[in-house]
Amino acid sequence: MALKRSNEAIHKEHGVPSLQDGSKNGIRKARTARSQYCFFLSFFFVFVSCNEPSSQKNIGSQIAETNGINNFSKVEMLEFIFNVQRDTAKPSSRHWQWFPQTNEVVFITDSNTTKFKRNDTTTKELRKLNGQFTNDEYWLIYPFHLSWDKGFELLDSGVKTAPISGKSLRKITTKYNKKDGFTPGDMYDLYVDEDKCIQEWAYHKGGAAEPSLLTTWENYKDYNGLKLAQEHKSKDGKYHLWFTGIQIKE
């Protein structure tokens, strides 16, 4: 059973003189101690508030959740074919199978299959394969990386005019540090609708002021609770990236 204690007892426990000591010296000590105590509390609350997650940080998690990141833990295998065409050149493709729970990746060609561990860069070939796979899966599931990735700053610029559609969309910028990943220092401007879905993005290679590439995010489809944009196009139509053969096994 809790015992009620007097203010006098509480003050003594915390080393704070009581105002019940009627002497001038006692009152002076009490006021000084209480001022120090209040300063400490003020500092504590400022410290706590500065370490609470801000709404700017939360927007990344909101985008990831909108696209189904909470369902990704069920995925045993994600298969997809990455296709890209630049201008009038012949399209190129890469076929992947990813097993997230074992962190294994399979690269499939017409004549061969190569199995490797994600982020294994012990050889030149493995570094190249990991770099290609990272590039391709970023185009497919980048929204999840807003929750997974470390080493980037996130800036919410509010509603801006999107560069391709001209629509009013929320601009979110992610700027990566210059130490981590296969392409350090990269920056992405994401243009997000009210449903927290990316509609366009601008890629700034190495954090350059001018974007290296601007494309849409379109043709969204739900795959076992994962909301994936299957197609990306530049404004002039000369750059076209799309996914085929998407399969998810749980």
Q: Supply the pTM of this predicted model.
A: 0.75
Amino acid, res. 247: Q
Tell me the two tokens of residue 107.
């690269």
The DSSP secondary structure of 173-241, one letter per residue, reads EEEE-SSSSSSTT-EEEEEE-TTS-EEEEEEEGGG-SS-SEEEE-EEEEEETTEEEEEEEE-TTSSEEE
Predicted local distance difference test score (pLDDT) of residue 179: 80
pLDDT in tens, 201-212: 999 999 999 999
Residues of the chain below pLDDT 70 = 1-57, 180-182
Q: What pLDDT is attached to residue 1?
A: 43
CATH number, domain 55-249, options 3.40.250.10, 3.40.50.970, 2.50.20.10, 3.40.50.261: 2.50.20.10
Q: Is 189 helix (H, G, I), strand (E, B) or coil?
A: strand
How far from the centroid of its chain's Cα atoms is residue 230's Cα? 20
Cβ neighbours of 124 (radius 10 Å): 8
Domain boundaries, the chain: 7-51, 55-249
- Alpha carbon distance 127, 133 (integer Å): 10
Which token pair is 2? 């809790």
With contact defined as beta carbons under 8 Å apart, do 29 and 17 qualify?
Answer: yes
| Residue 45, pLDDT score | 32
d(CA 102, CA 39): 51
- How much is the pLDDT for 181? 64
